């Protein structure tokens, strides 16, 4: 679960590969509202009406942007999640999902759990994404996780990363990144 959360939080901050801008308005993160309603979900992430507030080191934090919006849902797919691009694995239990929209596109993340094998999870997403023009690459595994990266478009404008780890006979997976 900790690897899943770190992967999900990291995936939500994925960019298109360009250097970060010094302009705070170019950031894809948003600040939580001053008085949000909160609930804590199965992943331990506190969800609010405008976003999640996981602990982050200063290097992972981004400046708030007046032109971005973030939607988060715990235990379900958030409204507006691009299921037409990043489908939900059939029979998967959703742990957390989010979408951050800004003037350059959107960052998306989806985390869940399934009884399918790690290879079945990778096969499902590889088939769904390559059918849409993504190219799959498999970087070296990290700490027992199966990882696949999907890119599409000029300069890999669309970039998604899938991570699958085994836990108690089930697979925790997260897929997320940046869509132009």
Q: pLDDT per residue over 16-28, tens digit each?
A: 443 333 333 333 3
- Entry pTM: 0.66
Three-state secondary structure call for residue 165: strand
Confidence of residue 127 (pLDDT cuts 50, 70, 90): very high
Higher pLDDT, 136 or 65: 136
Looking only at the bridges linking them, the beta strands covering 158-167 and 170-179 are: antiparallel
Q: pLDDT per residue over 35-47, tens digit each?
A: 333 333 333 333 4
pLDDT for 136 beyond 50: yes
Q: What is the DSSP string of 90-104?
A: TTPEEEEEEEEEETT
Structure tokens at 143: 């700490």
User: Which domains does the chain carry?
Assistant: 69-179 (3.30.160)
Closest by CA to 30, choosing from 106, 112, 110, is 106
Looking only at the bridges linking them, the beta strands covering 146-152 and 69-74 are: unpaired
> Over the range 41-53, which residues count as b (16 or more CB within 10 Å of their CB) and which as e?
bebebbbbeebbe
């Amino acid at each position: 679960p900790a690897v899943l959360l770190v992967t999900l939080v990291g995936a939500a901050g994925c960019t298109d590969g360009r250097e970060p801008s010094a302009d705070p308005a170019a950031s894809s993160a948003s600040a939580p509202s001053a008085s949000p309603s909160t609930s804590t979900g199965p992943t331990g992430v506190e969800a609010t009406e405008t976003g999640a507030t996981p602990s982050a080191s200063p290097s992972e934090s981004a400046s708030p942007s007046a032109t971005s919006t973030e939607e988060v849902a715990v235990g379900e797919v958030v409204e507006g999640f691009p299921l037409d691009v990043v489908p939900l694995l059939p029979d998967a239990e959703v742990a957390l999902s989010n979408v951050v929209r800004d003037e350059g596109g959107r960052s998306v993340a989806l985390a869940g759990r399934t009884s399918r094998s790690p290879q079945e999870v990778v096969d499902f997403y590889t088939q769904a994404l390559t059918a849409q023009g993504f190219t799959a690459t498999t970087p070296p595994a990290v700490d027992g996780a199966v990882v696949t990266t999907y890119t599409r478009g000029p300069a890999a404008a669309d970039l998604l990363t899938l991570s699958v780890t085994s836990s108690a006979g089930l697979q925790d997976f997260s897929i997320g990144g940046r869509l132009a």
